[in-house]
Amino acid sequence: MKTIDINCDMGESFGNHRVGNDQAIFPYVTSSNIACGFHGGDAVHMEHSIRTAVKYGVQVGAHPGYPDLAGFGRRKMDLPPQELKAIIKYQLAAIMGMARSLGTSVKYLKPHGALYNAAVENQQIAMIVIESVQEISRTMPIMGLAGSLFQDICGSQGVTFVAEAFADRSYEANGKLRSRSEAGALITDPNQAVAQVLDIVLKGQVKSHDDIMIPQQVQSICIHGDNPAAVSILRAIDQSLENEGILKQSFI
């Protein structure tokens, strides 16, 4: 039986500011990328998200980003290497401590937003992410874009890499995600998302915005928690996987 992990960015609300619909999303995912307070999230929402993940048997991942609440971590930032490393370590340590206090553990790390995209194409940033993780946990897997430079660098460093693709993002012909500033970057139609997921899981490929087929070998499929159609897309994916006899299962 084919299996696939479904991950989602969670816990991104902070204070009175609400992001996404985590309560409705948790029943449909197997991995949760929980915000660590810099691009979104705060201590209260982090703790609540971890508790909810435990309730639903969803594995917990760290989701650190740039210190950019105003821009939701999706703006490029040019930070000195040591500062960026400290920022990532701070976030990872915080969520690991919170998880431990709740009787669970953080299973992997996935960078958020602009930090994710920087690691995909910038060797220095990729190495900073890797070193930040390994200085805290030598064995923690890192999740990132399938077929990317980030995956290659993790492999060269002996880091376990969890290759992911996206249900709700369009691709360019080079295999990178289409910029959110471009039309059609975000997929909100559940039928389109389902078709993309089934292509990835069953055929090992994804169609780019320009109709180029890109090979995809992945362990996880991502949906963004702040996508207004996230719940509808996840329900549709859930039904389609069941129809195809594909089991949702965490990668660890």
pLDDT tier at 249, thresholds 50, 70, 90 = very high
The residue to which tokens 């874009």 are assigned: 145
191 vs 242: CA distance, rounded Å: 15
pLDDT for 1 equals 86
- pLDDT band per the 50, 70, 90 thresholds, residue 10: very high
Residue-wise pLDDT tens digits, 131-172: 999 999 999 999 999 999 999 999 999 999 999 999 999 999
Average pLDDT, stretch 54-74? Answer: 97
Amino acid at 242: E
Mean pLDDT of 80-103: 98
Contact in structure between 149 and 126 (CB atoms under 8 Å): yes
Whole-structure pTM value? 0.96
Of the chain, the end-to-end C-alpha distance in Å amounts to 17
Banded model confidence at residue 123, pLDDT cuts 50, 70, 90: very high
Percentage of the chain beyond pLDDT 70 is 100
| Domain boundaries, given as residue ranges, for the chain | 3-248
Mean pLDDT across the stretch 73-96? 97
Q: Average pLDDT in the 59-85 region?
A: 97
| Confidence at residue 154, expressed as pLDDT on a 0 to 100 scale | 98
Q: What is the mean pLDDT of the segment spanning 94-105?
A: 98
Cα separation, 56 vs 122, whole angstroms = 36
Q: Determine whether 37 is exposed, middle or buried from the number of CB atoms within 10 Å of its CB (0-12, 13-18, 19+).
A: buried
3-state secondary structure of 31: strand
Determine the average pLDDT of the residues in 71-92: 97
Q: pLDDT tens-digit profile of 161-198?
A: 999 999 999 999 999 999 999 999 999 999 999 999 99
Give the model's confidence band at 252: pLDDT under 50 very low, under 70 low, under 90 confident, else very high: confident
Which helix (H) or strand (E) segment is 250 a member of? none
pLDDT tens digit sequence for 52-63:
999 999 999 999
Correct CATH for 3-248 of 2.40.340.10, 3.30.460.80, 3.20.20.370, 3.40.50.10170:
3.20.20.370
Q: 148 and 105 in contact (C-beta within 8 Å)?
A: no
The rounded mean pLDDT for the chain is 97
Please give the sequence-ordered ranges of beta strands (E in DSSP) within 179-245, or none if there are none.
205-207, 213-215, 220-223
